[in-house]
Amino acid sequence: MTWIAAFIKNGENPNYQAFLHGVDRVCAEAGARATRHFPAKPDDPVEQTALLRAVVAQRPSAILFAPADDEAMAGPVAAANAAGIPLIGFVNRMAGDFVSFVGADDEAMAFAEASYLIAALQGAGKVVLVEGPETAPTSRDRGRGFRRALAAAPGVQVLGTRPGLYQQAAGRQAMAAHLAEHPVIDGVICTNDSMALGAIEALQAAGRRALVVGNNGTIPAAQAIGDGTLLATMDYCGFRMGALAAMAALRHLAGQPVPREVILPAQVIHAGNHAGWLVPVERRPLPAWPYA
């Protein structure tokens, strides 16, 4: 039986859980076996290395891989390449021989996210950033997008940035530190939804208000948009990404053509359109393969 091993870097993030669900659905339809692999400590490259080496030794048919640290995982990925196992990358780009990469234009997506907040602030106000780890290419790329949008808004003052590690608890702690340091904060730009939800918790605990934006389009984020605590997020659909990554692997194994990259379109999710993202991933239709 065809075996697809899916590696994510954070088992707590709802978007990665949605990714795995997309993989499972596609593999089930194709009669293939899908397995899930992620470090117990979110984003731990040491544990991810051990997991990858163990699975490579068992020789799966293909591996879907999002690195916890693109530089630290270069050696283990090279070992998988040497074993002749096809790899499909997703979310975070990295060096190595990958059949295809499934992801988004993170810089453009972050630019749109920050621009939406700036427009809501009418081009003036004080903002803070809560960002992901520097080990994640998505965080670095999104940071460039944020700063490009902010540089074009001279009326917006950036008070500072703190790391939220792509996790809700860490996002809450980062926002609490921002609040303790700054008596006035009008807007908060977060690199993902988990950190945005943590920032909202910190604001509520402090009895303060600010416009908050996130990224990923998770169901909890859509719910927060509905209740008015989150201004917006971006459609960075883990379910669709997982499904397409699994399709790419299965097509490659069947000798069918696969493009070198599959870049998903992203849009701003806001109060006017958020209802579509409240649908559980279990009830969403699988995407069609976007290439003839």
The per-residue pLDDT for range 176-212, each reduced to its tens digit, is 999 999 999 999 999 999 999 999 999 999 999 999 9
**Structural domain of residue 253, as residue ranges?**
3-104+237-265
**pLDDT tens, residue by residue, 9-21:** 999 899 999 999 9
User: DSSP states of 200-233 as a string?
Assistant: HHHHHHHT---EEE-SS--HHHHHHHHTTS--BE
* pTM of the predicted structure, to 2 decimals: 0.90
Per-residue confidence (pLDDT) for residue 148, from 0 to 100: 98
85 with 133, same domain: the answer is no
pLDDT value at residue 209 = 98
CATH number of the domain within which 83 lies: 3.40.50.2300
Q: What is the domain count for the chain?
A: 2
pLDDT of residue 265: 86
- Claim to verify: residue 92 and residue 171 sit in the same structural domain: no
For residue 18, tell me if it sits in a domain: yes
Domain assignment present for 224: yes
pLDDT computed for residue 49 by the predictor: 97
Please write the tens of the pLDDT for every residue from 62-82.
999 999 999 999 999 999 999
Going by C-alpha positions, the residue among 43, 41, 40, 23 that lies closest to residue 32 is: 23
For residue 275, is it within any domain? no
Which pLDDT value is given to residue 266? 84
118/230 same-domain check: yes
- What percent of the chain has pLDDT above 70? 100
Q: Determine the longest span between alpha carbons in the chain, in angstroms.
A: 60
How much is the pLDDT for 154?
A: 97
Per-residue pLDDT of the chain (292 residues; tens, 9 = 90+): 999 999 999 998 999 999 999 999 999 999 999 999 999 999 999 999 999 999 999 999 999 999 999 999 999 999 999 999 999 999 999 999 999 999 999 999 999 999 999 999 999 999 999 999 988 999 999 999 999 999 999 999 999 999 999 999 999 999 999 999 999 999 999 999 999 999 999 999 999 999 999 999 999 999 999 999 999 999 999 999 999 999 999 999 999 999 999 999 889 999 999 999 999 999 999 999 998 6
Residues 112, 225: one domain?
yes
> Which of 233, 256, 247 lies closest to 287, judged by CA?
247
Round to whole Å and give the CA distance between 160 and 167.
19
Indicate whether 180 and 92 sit together in one domain: no
Asked if residue 144 and residue 96 are part of one domain, the reply reads no
pLDDT at 172: 98
User: What pLDDT, on the 0 to 100 scale, is given for residue 289?
Assistant: 95
Whether residues 69 and 189 share a domain: the answer is no
